[in-house]
Amino acid sequence: MKTGWISLVLSLSLLFWLGNAIELAASETAEAKSLIPIVKALGGPDRYLTSISTDKPIYRAGEHFHVRGVLLTSTEHKPMPERDSLNNNVVYATVSLENAKGQNLVSRSVPIKDSVWGASLTLPQDQESGQYRIYVTYPNQGYAPAERRFEVRSYRAPRLSSQIVFLRDGYGPGDEVTATLKVKRAEGGIPAGAEVEFIPRVDGKAISGGTTRVDESGICTASFKLPKAISEGNGTLAFSIKDGGVVENASKTIPILLNTVKLDIYPEGGELVSGLSNRVYLQAYQSNGKPADLAGKLHWKEGKTTGVVSDFRTEHEGRGRIEFVPQQGRTYYLSLSEPAGIKKTYPLPDLKSSGVVIRSIEEVYKKDEPVKFKVAATTDYDSVLLTLKKREEVVAYKKIKLKGDKAKELEEVAFFPSHEFDGVLTVTAWSDDDKPLAERLVFREPAQKLNIKVEADKKSYIPGDKVTLAVKATDESGKPAATVVGLNVTDDSILELLDNREKAPRLPVMVYLEPEVADLADAAVYLDSENPKAALATDLLLGTQGWRRFALVDVEKFLKEHGDKARRALAYRGHSLANLSQVDRYTFFPDSFSRLNLPEEIGRVEGPRDMNMFQVEPTVIDERHYSSGRAERHQKTSPTLPEGAPIPDFDNNRLISARIGEVTGYAREYAHQNRARRGTDRKDFTETIYWNPIVKTDATTGEAKVSFDLSDSVTTFKAIVDGFTQDGTLGSTEASIEAVNPFYAEAKLPLEVTEGDRILLPLNLVNSTSDKLEGLS
């Protein structure tokens, strides 16, 4: 074994083989200890991963925004245990905001409660547009860092929310382009019959477009042909939607590909082995990094002779797969027929004359079914160890013999891991001298499902109304579940400004998939039980993660090459202040800490001491840049501390943050409060009207209620809810809250009139509320 390898602690769970339970303990089984390299420095058993969400995906410069982080264990997704405040055992997260240039704009140290932290920050006024990042670290614990990106730019809330989806993620010269526009009114409802004009432009010139109309489901389709000669490949499709007196525009870049496709190729087990049935995964990108949909053929070549093996087509996010039996002496390559005009060919990896292949049998494994896969080799192996791991933990293993018979079908192997080992699992084949032979990732359905429902106390509201939401959480059997819920209510038209594929994932997808992959887009698809392509999309996603191959063999190298992505994939817990008792903490993190010699009396209080964490009652966030829950204690302390600074519980010459003013209390809740309105004026167009990182449902009923006021916007607000339980069960849901005009007049005008006609104009007066309106004139 290489010097310097970091290994993982091998822990063996209950293993079952063909229904016979065999309990193994690694400490008691010498054979098990020698099966694979022993790993020991990923940070111990208490390793947590962070899932981050923001209240909106897009902000303006100078805007206030909210961010939430959830810490769950890397294997069973369980929250942190309750901390003992008397022992000051509080975990803090350092939350940093970076602009589009990667410059750190602000940092906050926030405490973690109930395995959740919340922070409210303000974007500086004079910042450039672009993609910004929330970056979170844990200097005292060394947990893996986490991040969430969002956009900052000028925008306005549209009256019509729309999504444009192209039939394919790639077109070439002369191809017919088909795009679907899905549209709805901001206040709710479908603009059925609305006229839509579409205008495509390529290389700065308009080409033939047309008009269409929105159907009863809010959908219309546009089709047009691209020019046969395209020089630059810059294309845009613009829609103009006319809904009565409202006109909205929507546009999207046409994915034109001109010899600029990047195609990555991943053999399923890591190598392409001759003579055996192989599966190959494909990942295609446009020049801007977005996925490219391709179709073409797999060819073979031997000397001057060539032939076609099969056709192929990508299925989701530019990903696809091919199955074939490669023959020794031949080379293989891909050619493209869609999009048109790409002449480049793409060679497959070199063939290996000997090796092992692993084939997953299911695209996604059911939680109550065995994890089955097939394995074969080109040469005889007296002993091949097959392991099934959840990160470094071996949850099942089996030794088998492989006969190098290329005519033989792949041998099927079944594992029966304990139900709590779900999500992404790693199947690896090892030689008897501990060398990895083949490996792939598979997905097992979550062991349990948390059902969350959210209901409003009315069907619809008028601007400024008070809203009460009832949240109820139950387990799979329908029993009430004590749940920690995050609740966010935001103008849905703002959420729809981003393409669906660009939207951040919800908590279950964040936990089960996001740390495991290099890039996660179109996140809503993968765990959607109602989407028939969800299982295939998940298999294709995991089949194209070649960067993770044999990550546990040389952890140091893996961490060095892939940085934070590797730390999240391994849930690597690195150096922390808490574990540096033999290190000079003042120099280990010179940018974060400094020694301050404070007078003895500063921070001393009358009565018993408590931890330095602020308890805050729910209030409007703008009034709480610093927590005020310890005001009484602050009055009893020395007045020499800066106003708004936290009260440290450190003895003289101990570490405290150099940026005292940037240590904040826990941001608990933002509940919008309606301003005093004057007549029918509408000036308050707040987009996020409720945000709370922790809402606890009652253990007996599974219910919780929250209340807030609507803004003056006539729109649809979306309530987004996700939560977790103490046993690691996850769930999410959403609901719509419609704010409508309380009263309006609707006139039906004839389409055409001629001179001298007498017009009888029907006028409808509409009361959108459930109450009787009086005093109208």
DSSP labels, 567-618: HHHHT-----GGG-TTS-HHHHSTTTEEE----TTTT--SS----S-----S
Given strand 262-267, what is the order of strands in its sheet?
262-267, 278-285, 319-324
Contact 566, 559 (CB under 8 A): yes
From CA 690, how far away is CA 707, in angstroms rounded?
8
Q: Under DSSP, is residue 714 helix (H, G, I), strand (E, B) or coil?
A: coil
Q: What is the band of 31 on the pLDDT scale with cuts at 50, 70, 90?
A: very low
Q: Which of 5-9, 629-633, 722-726 is the most confident on average?
A: 722-726
Quote the pLDDT of residue 513. Answer: 98
Q: Residue 135's beta-bridge partner residues?
A: 96, 147
Quote the pLDDT of residue 260. Answer: 77
Of 726, 730, 737, the C-alpha closest to 672 is 737
pLDDT over threshold 60, residue 679: no
Fold agreement (171-253, 262-352): yes
The CATH class that applies to domain 262-352 reads mainly beta
Bridge-based pairing state of the strands 295-302 and 305-313: antiparallel
Model pLDDT for residues 280-297, shown as the tens digit of each residue: 999 999 988 899 999 999
Of 367, 365, 391, the C-alpha closest to 515 is 391
Of 339, 590, 423, the C-alpha closest to 76 is 423
Share of the chain above pLDDT 70, in %: 77
Quote the pLDDT of residue 12. Answer: 32
Of 364, 362, 383, the C-alpha closest to 372 is 362
| More confidently predicted of 696 and 764 | 696
Q: Between 3.40.50.1000, 3.20.10.10, 3.40.50.2000, 2.60.40.1930, what CATH number should domain 171-253 receive?
A: 2.60.40.1930
How many angstroms separate the Cα of 237 from the Cα of each of 180, 213, 289, 650? 11, 16, 20, 61
Q: How far is C-alpha 776 from the chain's CA centre?
A: 50
3-state percent helix, strand, coil for the chain, nearest multiple of 5: 10, 40, 50
State the Cα torsion 416-420-421-423 to the nearest 10°.
Answer: 120
The token duo for 127 is 């910042």
Write the secondary structure of 681-694 as one string of H (helix), E (strand) and C (coil). CCCCCCCEEEEEEE
pLDDT over threshold 50, residue 653: no
pLDDT over threshold 90, residue 485: yes
pLDDT over threshold 50, residue 468: yes
Cβ neighbour number for residue 632 with a 10 Å cutoff: 10
Q: Residue 772's beta-bridge partner residues?
A: none
The token duo for 333 is 């390559």
Contact 78, 71 (CB under 8 A): no
Model pLDDT for residues 244-273, shown as the tens digit of each residue: 878 999 999 999 998 879 999 999 999 999
Q: Under DSSP, is residue 557 helix (H, G, I), strand (E, B) or coil?
A: helix
Lowest mean pLDDT among 38-47, 174-183, 641-650: 641-650
Contact 716, 495 (CB under 8 A): no
User: Where in the chain are the domains?
Assistant: 171-253, 262-352
Contact 571, 390 (CB under 8 A): no
How many angstroms separate the Cα of 294 from the Cα of each of 290, 311, 578, 616, 750? 13, 11, 51, 54, 49
From CA 390, how far away is CA 371, in angstroms rounded?
13
- If you average pLDDT over every residue of the chain, what do you get? 82
DSSP labels, 440-482: EEEEE--S---EEEEEESSSEE-TT-EEEEEEEEE-TTS-B--
From CA 487, how far away is CA 454, in angstroms rounded?
10
Q: Under DSSP, is residue 528 helix (H, G, I), strand (E, B) or coil?
A: coil
Burial environment of residue 305 by CB neighbours within 10 A (0 to 12, 13 to 18, 19 or more): exposed
Lowest mean pLDDT among 97-106, 150-159, 398-407: 398-407
Of 277, 109, 248, the C-alpha closest to 185 is 248
Taking phi over 0 as left and psi of -120 to 50 as alpha, with beta for the rest, 303 belongs to left
Quote the pLDDT of residue 765. Answer: 62
State the Cα torsion 565-571-577-579 to the nearest 10°.
Answer: -140
From CA 541, how far away is CA 727, in angstroms rounded?
27
Q: Under DSSP, is residue 622 helix (H, G, I), strand (E, B) or coil?
A: helix
pLDDT over threshold 60, residue 2: no
Model pLDDT for residues 82-133, shown as the tens digit of each residue: 764 444 578 899 999 999 999 999 999 999 999 999 999 999 998 899 999 9
Contact 355, 271 (CB under 8 A): yes
Please tell me the number of Cα atoms within 13 Å of 563 on its side-chain side.
Answer: 3
From CA 512, how far away is CA 508, in angstroms rounded?
6
From CA 518, how far away is CA 264, in angstroms rounded?
14
